[in-house]
Every structure is written in structure tokens, then in C-alpha cells.
Structure 1
Amino acid sequence: MVHAKVLTSSLIAAVLSASAAYADMPVTINNVDASGGAIHVLAFNDKTAFEGNMFAKMVSYVKIPATEGTVSGTLKGLEPGTYAIMLHHDANENGQMEMKGAVPLEGWGYSNGAGATSVPTFEEASVEYTGENTAEMAMNYAP
């Protein structure tokens, strides 16, 4: 019985310390070109999921109303580690990236300043989240 109480107390302490490791990452997005629509912010901690656009495997997501200039939001429930963040300014809010051939007609962006002229790798877009820092990114728009 004593062992059961010690084990239970140990399990509760482990769960509490594990849940305390999760935090919310503030994100700031600069250079939002036009008002209207929404900015979709997707965080990945897996190279294959990020590079394969496997949206079902993102680890956090926030939708931020788009206004010209700078917008901010919060990616919830992240533990410290390496993440690649993808942005999409869905101006018409249809849930799709509008394209003209290979040229995006809506805004895009990635963490670490990556992807201004081509789709970045996970490593190029990776940022370290300490549990306390903020991700600051910028939108890109085709001319």
C-alpha cells in the first residue's frame, strides 16, 4: 500500500512537471500587405510533415484576422524544441493558397526569414523555442 501511494505521488509529479513544460509561443507577423482575410500560422516539429505540407501533422495552429501592417497571435501548447512555422495570408478566406502557375497570388512566409524566393527546407525555416521567446516573421507577396 505504501508503494502504491509513492508510485501514485510520483506519477502525479511527473504529469505535472511534463505539463508545465508546455507553453504558448507569441508570434508577430510584419509586412501584412492588405487588410481583409486571415493569416494562418502553422507550426511543425517534424521535417517530413513540414516539407510535405502534411497539415494534419502540425503541432499548433492559430488563425489571426489580417490587418495591414503588423498582426500578432499565439501558438498554444508547445514544448521547448525546434519548430518550422509556415504562414499563409488567405485574403479571400477560402482555405486555399491562390496560385497563378508557380506564383502565389496570396501572401506567404516562414520562420527564420526563410522562403522569400523559394520553398524552404525544415532546417532553413527552423527556430528554437525555449518556452519563453517570441517568433517574429514577415509576410511575402509576389510583385
Structure 2
Amino acid sequence: MRPEQLFLRHAAVIAFVMSLLSTPLQAAGGSVTLVVDGVTAGEGTIRIAICRRERFLSEDADCPWGASVPASGSTVRVEIRDVPPGTYAVLGHQDSNSDGRINRWPIVGLPTEPLGFLAGRWHPRLRRAPTFDEAAIVWPREGSTLRVELYPTASWF
């Protein structure tokens, strides 16, 4: 093999190894169980959204992770899978009429359906929506259990 061919072969191998080393590794997402309290049994579905800062409380609530389960009891369990490590806010909502959105009072804008965040992170008597920083957590490790407390409409007043 000629020296220039050998050089090109070594250069290609070095370039390949360098590309592997410079590629960020994505941490695998784990599953976390959310226990949702304050559910009115038999009314619609429970929806959980896991949101990044830029999607938190956005009008379309298009958060990248979430789940929906029937409102089958006063407490329901929801498993969320494949959420990579990071900082997220968790929003829980009882979609009483199953229309896929958080219904609000006209003009006032307060929710007409039970709504909540991670237990202990926020309370509706604050009379405002939480900021991302108030509702956010560093996503826990695989197998963790978190609690979400839903607050009925009456607790907002």
C-alpha cells in the first residue's frame, strides 16, 4: 500500500472516531408513575401533560409527553414513559366533558374543570397560574412516583 493511501485510510478512521466522540449521547427516558388525587370519579378523562418551559401553559398545550386515562376513581394512576432527563412542569387536568381542552370561564379565564400541578408546588388560592419555575421539577429517576393534586373549580374563588 502506498503512503498516501495509508494516510487516507488512517485519516478516515480518525475522522469517524472523532465524529462518534463529538456526538452528544441522549440519555434514555425512563417511566414515572403519577398518582392523581382530587378526581371526580366517572366524569371524563384525566389528562397529564409534561411540558418544557416554552410549551408550559401555552394556548394549544402541545407538550411533548403526556397520557390520558378514564376518571375511574377519586385517585387514578398514570404512567408516563420515555421522558428524557431534564426540567419539566407537570400539569394535570380532569377533562370532564372529554373535549380535549381546558375549559375556562369567559372573560375571567379561570378553569371550569379541575386542574392541578405537582402536589405541594402550587395552590389555586394564589389566584393566578403558576410560573414554570414554581411548577417545575428536575425529572426524577426511573421508577419514581409523583403526586398531582387536582383542585375543583370552587377552590379557585
| Shorter-chain TM-score range | 0.7 to 0.9
TM-score (norm 2): 0.72
Query: What is the RMSD computed on CA atoms of the aligned residues?
Result: 2.7
Identity among equivalent positions (%) equals 24
Q: Which has the larger radius of gyration?
A: 2
The equivalent residue for 1:31 is 38
Q: CA deviation at 1:43?
A: 0.5
Q: How does 1:58-137 map to 2 (within 5 A)?
A: 58-101=63-106, 102=108, 103-113=110-120, 114-117=122-125, 118-132=128-142, 133-137=144-148
Q: CA deviation at 1:76?
A: 1.8
TM-score (norm 1): 0.78
Q: Distance in 2 between matches of 1:112 and 1:80?
A: 20
The equivalent residue for 2:5 is none
- The one-letter code of the counterpart of 2:61 is F
The equivalent residue for 2:55 is 49
Greater strand fraction, Structure 1 or Structure 2: 1
| Residue segments in structure 1 that go unaligned for 5+ positions in a row | none
**How many residues are aligned here?**
138
Greater helix fraction, Structure 1 or Structure 2: 1
The equivalent residue for 2:28 is 21
